[in-house]
Chains A and B, each alone.
Chain A
Amino acid sequence: MPQVTVTVNGQTHSVDVEARTLLVELLREKLRLTGTHVGCDTSQCGACVVHMDGESVKSCTLLAVQAEGAQITTIEGLAAADGTLHPMQEAFREYHALQCGFCTPGMVMSAIDLVNKNPEGLTEHQIREGLDGNICRCTGYHNIVKAVSAAAEVMHGRSAELTPAA
């Protein structure tokens, strides 16, 4: 059985897995990090999005062995050790950017990748396009867009507080 070594939220794990084990199965079932969700299991919904070496990926469409040596960040790894939320998490709370919350972990992880890759700022259209790979079945997109817009300003140091960009 292959062994895979990954660093998840700063902690390195070496785990025996079957070659067919998905990254999301490694995270949820072996490492018990159940914040990463499985919605569709067909690469459509984005509930399983995590960061691999800083880029958002769908962990249901990635073999655990393909992540060998990678740095993985899950929703559990975003908040500071003292519990201070990441600005994106804080914005989702502040703008009520969730209804049932199932899609939220993936939505937050995708949104952070989107903001990181667009330091010059994001229009509403760019945010909607950029979150194309994440589906909110409650259809709560409106507040999600507001939250991402506000978090982007904080993450890039243009605003100390969460206010929607003009």
Chain B
Amino acid sequence: MQQPNKLTPFFENLNFEREDNTMVINFGPQHPSAHGQLRLMLELDGEQVVKAHPDIGYLHRGVEKMAENMTYNEFLPTTDRLDYIASTSNNYAYALAVEKLIGLEVPRRAQVIRTMLLEINRLLSHLFFIATHALDVGAMSVFLYAFREREFGMDLMEDYCGARLTHSAVRIGGVPLDIPDGWMIALRKWCDKVDYELEHTYNALLEENRIWKMRLENVGVISPEDALSWGCTGPMLRGSGIPYDIRKEEPYELYSELDFDIPVADTNDSYGRYRLYMAEMKESTKILRQLINMYDDTEPQLMAHAPQYISAPKEEIMTQNYALMQHFVLVTQGMRPPKGEVYVPTESPKGELGFYIKSEGEPYAYRLKCRAPSFFHTGLLQELLVGTYIADVVTIIGSTNIVFGEVDR
């Protein structure tokens, strides 16, 4: 019987000594394989899960409430804290939503740099996935190798924007900085390195690994109907055989000009999704190589010219009176986008990351809703885990690739 007191309250729905011989266990919120603050209440019959109840909210910081009380530019660094594995994707999704709202065209060089940063972040996130997923399943060495490459990628981000984890490397209307000297050479080297390691290290360690296959094959099978109904996006959707990638289907930025494929896995299981992630990394390096060549033909302009919304470049602010006045107004009051609403989907490494912004013409968003892919993938767990064995729970959570910064927001 539970003996509740002030520090351990009574859980009304939990009963540890039940008549029907099932056991309820608490997985998390401080479990190393829970990928953050996920609390799962599992009802077990022997080793089989009968009922799963994901409990979230342990990392809730009220990001959407904060957005209503911050000007549009102030809020941008907060988006870093959503999916902190690939922060530039969040910055970009938010900046794109605001740009769509005010109808802004971004200069070509900024587009090239943004697309590059997005793909670097995709690689960072996917490398992190391979590393932690393998670690959860028990392959420690893959974790070390993948983190080595991820570290080089974070060095690249550091060379570009100065930050390793919370980048804020995108601004509304463009990017703040141009590519530093020698960065492209380092990027090309990194692409080669990732390609080489993909083939010779991760693939060699995992692809035909007997234990890896036993732990992943036919585990966490999501049928295409379920994937659609539960709102799965990104690799979770393509892992169920539905080839929908927003980069290809509703292209934004430079993706319509780039040549890349959308890998699809039709086995619907964790192993298929793992192979999908590996294939996507190869596509990302392919995209990055094309972008390196596109960079040279661009004009040096980095921020869009829209004096009503975007501050002028620093040189103009320091030399021209009117630019300084505009800058002052934009910094002290914030931009005022037109009245209306917008929902912009982007393909983040985890899936469809979209921002819904409702503007009433004020410098503060009237309502901002962040559509986080992980939130819906967590919802899926309550059905996906039923019928599986307790040993597979960790594999399935790892395979959904959820990040709690964006689940709880």
- Decide if A and B are genuine partners: no
